[in-house]
Amino acid sequence: MHRVLLTATRLCLLAFLLAGVLAVAGQSLGLLIGSGSLVKTFGGPVTDLACVTAAIAGVLAFLLRYTAEGRASATEE
């Protein structure tokens, strides 16, 4: 279970980071070319995706501590 949660957490973190970079790049491009619709597009759905995946990654990281391996690493620290 630990391995599944760890993999899912890493995938969600990767998706969150990519969506964040995409949102910043898209909004920056929209500002440079003066396109308000482009800024809105990257400011709405893309940032919503980034926020949702960040929340899921946070929950999965929290659940990692409740696996046997997570408890063992917590006692070692």
Task: State the DSSP string of the chain.
Answer: -HHHHHHHHHHHHHHHHHHHHHHHHHHHHHHHHT-HHHHHHHHTHHHHHHHHHHHHHHHHHHHHTTSHHHHHHHHH-
- pTM of the complete model beyond 0.75: yes
Residue 44 lies in a domain: yes
Residue 73 lies in a domain: no
| Parent domain of 54 | 9-68
Q: Calculate the average pLDDT of the chain.
A: 88
Residue 57 lies in a domain: yes
How sure is the predictor about 10, in pLDDT bands with cuts at 50, 70 and 90?
very high
How sure is the predictor about 64, in pLDDT bands with cuts at 50, 70 and 90?
confident
Residue 75 lies in a domain: no
Residue 9, pLDDT above cutoff 80 = yes
Residue 77 lies in a domain: no
* pLDDT tens digits, one per residue of 32-60: 999 889 999 898 888 999 999 999 999 99
Residue 64 lies in a domain: yes
- Please state, in angstroms and rounded to a whole number, the distance separating the CA atoms of residues 39 and 29: 8
Residue 2 lies in a domain: no
The total domain count for the chain is 1
Residue 45 lies in a domain: yes
C-beta separation of 9 from 61 below 8 A? yes
